[in-house]
Structure 1
Amino acid sequence: MSVEAPASAIEEQAAQWFSRRQDGPLDPAGEAAFQTWLQQNEAHANAYDDMQLLWADCDLLTRPALESDKFVVLPVVSARRSRFRSMLTLAAALLLAIGMALGTSWYAQPTYQLNASADQQQLRTLQLQDGSEVVLNLGAQVHVRYFRDRREVELSAGEAFFSVSPDATKPFLISVGDAEVRVVGTRFNVRRSDQGVAVAVEQGTVQVDPGTQGLAPQLLQVGEVAEVDYRRGLVRNSELPTNEIGSWRTGMLIFRDRSLGELAQELSRYLDRPVLVGDAQLAAKRVSGSLDIHQPELFLQALPLLLPVQISRTDDGRVMLQPR
């Protein structure tokens, strides 16, 4: 013995199925469930047909009456359509839900997208839609998406220098792994590495959220640097002359008080092969100097003059730095 659902319940089910199908094609499982519901009872099919007809009626409706209007001309509908006028309240809710869903979907769609990378031979400059500029260091990769209320960039690899056009209504958000950098209009450098994220500000103010419990957000001013070290669970703050921030854009990387481990990651990118430090104490040593990013091999050969290291190379091309 089967129990037939009340008409109001069937109408609600029909409205739900109609709303889901308006939002886009169902997946195979969803479509199979819909067909099963449709075939369970003739009332189901009739209620769904009524929903489709009512939706079509929306195209026939005139604009709302104005105070100056003496009368409103209503569309002529068939006798069959008139029998489900009792569904208008439910249909109004359905139309509102669908409208909100479509509006949300429209609002969530990017208005501008760009995926770009720089090869190992030359830097790359990107001019974005709003006048912002991004300079990609060798091997860097970015994914840009602009929305109606924000601008988003993902730095998925390497290093980039950002010159952001001011727009208080659309903050500029850069995701770097777990970290997020937030600005409105400014100039700053962002470096991503295996160990963490480093942000240095040349102009304006930048907020850096490490995105990890226990590491507080950092508000950086001109000349300030924040290095987020996820392995050690800390943020190192320092200052740099503004002419050294993003110095690699000139082809000459200037580094101050950088750990050898971090420098090895820089060399890995410029050499396009892994540079590994085989000793933890050696990796922690701080070093300052300059590096021609187009001739990293020359710097590597000179490294034993700066630090007590010896260089070896493996058969698979890796470079090993060991204590001397």
Structure 2
Amino acid sequence: MPGNRAKDAQRKRNREAADWILRNSDPRQPAEEKSRFQAWLNADPQNCRTYNAAEQLLGDAQTAIQSDTALSNIRIKPRSPVKPVVIALFFLAIAGATFLSLDGPIRMQADVVAGVDEMPVVTLQDGSTVQLNSSSAIAVDFTPERRVVRLLRGQAYFEVAHAPERPFSVDAGPARVTALGTAFDVRYSDTDLQVSVTENAVMIEPEIGNSGSLQIHEGEQALVDRRSGSSVVQRVDSNVALSWRRGQIAVDNAPLFKVVEEIGRHFSGRIVIAGDTVANRRVSGTINVTDTESALSFLRAALGVKTTRVGPFILIRS
């Protein structure tokens, strides 16, 4: 399909533009690399437009640095010819880190990105709908043969339009979840993949294309450990599994770090837990994760922890 080929080409162009942005920021860049960059720009007018868009994203990162008085007021007097290079690389590293924090790489891959205060519902071209949790992102790759949505980060609930001749799958890292019915929820984190089925069934392939697939049915939830590949299937109340759509989470003896991960989706800064002992303490209850202060108040009351807020950071400690 021409539309999908164009989308794939644009994603490739996005990756190349981001790569050139970082290369061109290196003050030690060799002349031959500058020539290759110019050849890349001249190869296609779209390359230039994409590069300019990537530059604007990095400009946002530099603006963020300048707005931080602790960084903008740094004054360093070089004492040797090497120092200017070191200083330039230092600020490049900061800009690159800020570029990442502004979601530059994700935004250049994704078709839909949900902000910290958003849970958008999106209708796809086949009539299927997707609701994204806060701080989540998807990319859509539809062909005449298959419908594939890549969950780049976070969580999403899918209601799939009936078209058995075109299987509907959600790719989350190395795993693939294929609909055998109409509605299911996928949560993708650094440590695990959680799939909850609210209508009919899905097939889970922990490693795309490999054996060891797992089928789960309506009212069931599978938790796949991304490190070991082990999986656990259990019964789940759909109201509990989908409570995030109401801005809540309902947990039963869950580790604190998992709860904080969900609160963090709705918080524009960063929440840090001091030590594994605190991070692994268990908590139960229904928590309003869209209200950060309310959620932290619940944790203070339930676990006796203390919280300290400094700018965009919150520290949870015993």
TM-score of the alignment, normalized to the shorter chain, above 0.5: yes
**1:256/1:287 contact within 8 Å kept:** yes
Q: Secondary structure at the match of 1:270?
A: coil
**1:170/1:184 contact within 8 Å kept:** no
Q: State whether structure 2 residue 245 is matched by structure 1 residue 249.
A: yes
Q: Secondary structure at the match of 2:290?
A: coil
Q: State whether structure 2 residue 236 is matched by structure 1 residue 264.
A: no
Name the aligned partner's letter for residue 252 of structure 1.
Q
**2:263/2:290 contact within 8 Å kept:** no
| Mapping 1:41-80, distance limit 5 Å | none
The alignment-based identity, stated in percent, is 29
Name the aligned partner's letter for residue 318 of structure 1.
F
Number of residue equivalences = 210
Name the aligned partner's letter for residue 236 of structure 2.
L
Deviation at 1:214, TM superposition (A): 11
Residues 316 and 179 of structure 1, relative CA distance in 2, 3 Å threshold? farther
Q: Secondary structure at the match of 1:158?
A: strand
User: What residue in structure 2 maps to residue 85 of structure 1?
Assistant: none
User: Among 290, 293, 314, which residue is 1:319 paired with?
Assistant: 314
Q: State whether structure 2 residue 136 is matched by structure 1 residue 140.
A: yes
User: What residue in structure 2 maps to residue 47 of structure 1?
Assistant: none
Return the TM-score normalized by structure 1.
0.59
Q: Which runs of 5+ in 2 are unaligned?
A: 1-109
Return the TM-score normalized by structure 2.
0.60
**2:268/2:312 contact within 8 Å kept:** no
| Mapping 1:1-324, distance limit 5 Å | 115-211=111-207, 216-231=212-227, 233-313=229-309, 315=310, 317-322=312-317, 324=318
Cα displacement string for residues 209-268 of structure 1 (whole angstroms, at most 9, x for unaligned residues): 222999943211112111222246532332211222222222333233432221121111
User: What residue in structure 1 maps to residue 71 of structure 2?
Assistant: none
**1:215/1:234 contact within 8 Å kept:** no
CA RMSD of aligned residues (A): 2.6
Q: Secondary structure at the match of 1:267?
A: helix
Q: Secondary structure at the match of 2:181?
A: coil
**1:165/1:184 contact within 8 Å kept:** no
**1:152/1:174 contact within 8 Å kept:** yes
Deviation at 1:308, TM superposition (A): 4.1
Deviation at 1:300, TM superposition (A): 1.1
Question: Which is greater in Rg?
Answer: 1
Deviation at 1:180, TM superposition (A): 1.1
Name the aligned partner's letter for residue 247 of structure 1.
S
Residues 268 and 147 of structure 1, relative CA distance in 2, 3 Å threshold? same
